[in-house]
Structure formats: structure tokens, C-alpha cells
Amino acid sequence: MKFTASCAELSGLKADSLILPTGLTLNNNAKTIDQRSNNAISSVIASGEFGGKLGQVTVLNLPSLDIKRIILLGTDGLSNQRQIKKAVNAACVALKKTRVKTAMWIGGDIGDDLKAEASIVAQSINTSLYNYKKQTTDEASDFESLIFWSTKKSANHAVEASLEYGAAVGDGMNTARQLGNLPANICTPSYLAEQAVSLGNKKLKKATITTEILDRSHMQKLKMDSLLSVAEGSDEPPKLIVLNYQGAESNKKPVVLVGKAVTFDSGGISLKPGRGMDEMKYDMCGGASVLGVMNSLSQLQLPINVVGIIPATENMPNGGATKPGDVVTSMSGQTIEILNTDAEGRLILCDSLTYAAKFDPDTVIDIATLTGAVISALGKVASGVLSNDQQLADDLIECGTQSADPVWQLPLWEEYDELLKSNFADMANIGGPQAGTITAGCFLARYAQDYKWAHLDVAGTAWVSGGNKGATGRPVPLLMEYLRQKSESVSD
């Protein structure tokens, strides 16, 4: 996809389709387009077919005119970034159905921030064009280019940069979606490692990406017995994937992203119910989001250092699988009584968080489809965030708002941490039936005491079920917005 910005004379621009965000009252730009379309827009408003309601889409086919199609997008009632993104997505769905090659977006009528609008448009166009790539041939999209038009000539350069940023974020989301959607017999820990190596082979002008893959023997030497305990029941070898993106000076401390990648989670000996178990291929979406972020970074080459750590394994039951009641020793030396083998994500993350300290990080953020409890608390709208640093939590909340990829904070109070008490080890891997997301966060917090850390529980937001079943690519937009703002502060 090619995205360009333009502030040329509106009457002279040409495209197969034109997307016009508007309410019932037409501004000067909309009036110009209305006149050019022989009053087709004002006519459809007068008829009541288009009411300007937020997210409403009406397609006007005008085969005898220069612009063959106008897509009206209702904007009345817009109040936040989530609504803007929802409206833009609705227009993108309609645009995709037209199977056009070129389109023009009339910018400046959604919200107050032209750059944010351009970014969301490019991101949404790219994600709307995603098709699950089956293991045969891929379907090529007809759509080739989009012109983002606005009256503000002074903002043209900034709009172009925003289009580039949004497109890269969209590509990163699609990377994460594709990995999440692949079946578990294809997307194994070894397959994820191969994808990471491919990223590391990219030749970049302003940055570098290097990849290191640690196998079982390496993890045994590091005494990652907690992580390895999850892999005991699987024939698939576990991998610890480490990607190092360097876009700033080597003395700049990195942001470390740790992504849970259980490529299939049967629950182990604490076996899950059979209904819906196919969706446990999505238990690697945390790791997929890290790879998605790395893909976006490789396109944008932001001036920041980022380390991605992805513990990848299956969680399966066999004769050698870890059993409820077993005690394992983590890389940190802390012992864990495993009361439930289906609480395995924290077991692979805790060793990865200990390992993260070797990079002398500025900040560590882990991303995991960790608990069903977060779905009960927040549904499918917001991801949960828990942190040992309030400023970091506030930054992530703000970045979630800006990127329309929201998070909501839950507490890490000592009363919850006490629920992890064990009579036979330093801690249990579950804290009982209450506050499951919080006690999981408290468990991880014990391994992140030496640096600023936040935990994102994306079990409710990383994929959707039902007729639209599939990975969403979240929280790539949130993470990229955080890294973008971080890179700007580092540059300053």
C-alpha cells in the first residue's frame, strides 16, 4: 500500500473512490465535492438515507462522473480516539468491498488532530486489507494507494510522517494477527524462532536487529527450571527467542518487551474443557505482538533500543508432564509450588523477567494472554495493566488512549500478594478463585523488583471469538505509541 498526503486543489484530484467524513451539515470542502457530484450528497441527506450518525456509511455510485464512488462516513457525536477508530474502520470495510485501486480520504473533519487522524486511517486501511494467508496461495488485494487530502499545506510533511507511522503499525498488527491465526501444528516454538531469525536478517539503514535463539540446553544452564517445567509434557522443543533492536546509541538503556508464547495450551495435567480449546492456539499472542512491534520498528527505524524476549513452548499432558503439587526452582532461586498446571504463563514469564535484568533495562513490559479473570473484569474492550511504577502505568494508560488501544489499571496490593502463600515453597503459582488477574500480577512482580515493570494482560483483547474469530493484533498500537513517545523523549 502506498500512502501520500496532498493539499492540492480539491476540484482537480482524481481517485476511484472518495471517502468523505461528514455530519448532516456540510462544510466548505464537502460543499465543493457536493457540487462536483451534481448535488448527490445533499440529495441523499435530504432523502434521509444518510443521517450523519457516528460510523454510518453510505456509498454513492456515480459512474458518469470523474469520481466514480463517494463513501459518506457519519461523524456526528465523535468524542474520543476509540470512536474515531471505530468510524474509520467502518469506512475501510466499505472501501474494501469496492475493490478499487486508488482512493482519496478527505481529512480534517474527524477530531481535532490531523496527524492522529492520518495515522489511524493508514493503520486501519492496512488492517482492513488483511486476509488470513492460508498455506496455499495468497489473495492479492486490488487496493494500491490512498491519498490523504487536507487544506493545511503547513501540515503536509507531518501528515506524511503520520501516514508512514500508521501504516507501519498496521503492518505490525497484521504480523501479530497472522502468527496468532496460524494453527498450532504450524506455528510451533520452532516456527516462531524462524520468524524471529527472518526479522534479524533484515538490512536496515538507521538501525539493526539481531536475533539469538536459546534452546533447552541453554535454558538448563541458566537454571530456567520454571520455564522448562511447562515444556516437560510436549514433544515440541521450547525456545527462548531474543531480538535486539538497536536504533539509538549503545549506551541508551533499552525497553524490554517480554511476550508470552504458549503456542498451544491444553492446560497440561490440569486439562482444560474441550469446548473452545481450539482457541488456545492464541495463547502465544503476547509473543506475536512482540514480533509485530519488531516488524513495525524495522520499517520506522525509531531512535530507541528495544529488546524482545519471547519464551515459547507448548503446554501439553504426557507421562513426563509437570503435576499439580510439584515444586520447581525458578532462575531467580525462588521456589514455586505448582497447584495448577494451567497457570503456566507466569511460569515461563518469571524466568524471562529474571533474564531481562541482564540487559540493564530502562523499562520492562510483559505482554501475556494470562488470565480468564481479566475478561470477567474488563471484557473485550480494555487490556489490564499492573505495574510497580505509577508513572509507567500512567504513561501506558495515556498511550492506550492516544492509540485507541486502551488499558485499565488494577492494583498490586500486599493483601493480594499474601494469597500466593505456600506451605511447601516460596510461593504458589495461583492465589485462589478470587482476583485472579491481580494475584497473577503479584506473582510476576516478585521477579521484577530490580527495574520499572508493567504487566499487560491481553487475554480479553488479543483475539475475538464467534463468526469473526481471529487475532486482533493488540496491543501492538499501544506498545508502538509508548515506544514512539519514548524515542521522542530520548531524542530530546
- Nearest-CA neighbor of 411 among 435, 433, 432, 428? 435
> Cα–Cα distances in Å, from 154 out to 149, 159, 408?
13, 10, 36
Report d(CA 472, CA 461) in Å as an integer. 7
Report d(CA 230, CA 112) in Å as an integer. 49
Phi, psi angle pair for 453, to nearest 5° = -145, 145
Any residues with CB less than 8 A from the CB of 410 and at least 6 apart, and which? 377, 384, 385, 386, 437, 438, 441
| Backbone φ/ψ region at 432: left (φ over 0), alpha (ψ -120 to 50), beta | left
E-state strands within 238-317: 239-246, 255-259, 261-265, 305-315
Radius of gyration of the chain (CA): 24
- Out of 239, 346, 446, 474, pick the active-site residue: 346
In sequence order, the β-bridge partners of residue 262 are 313
346 has catalytic annotation: yes
216 has catalytic annotation: no
- Out of 86, 216, 252, 272, pick the active-site residue: 272
302: helix, strand or coil: coil
Report d(CA 291, CA 280) in Å as an integer. 19
Catalytically annotated residues: 272, 346
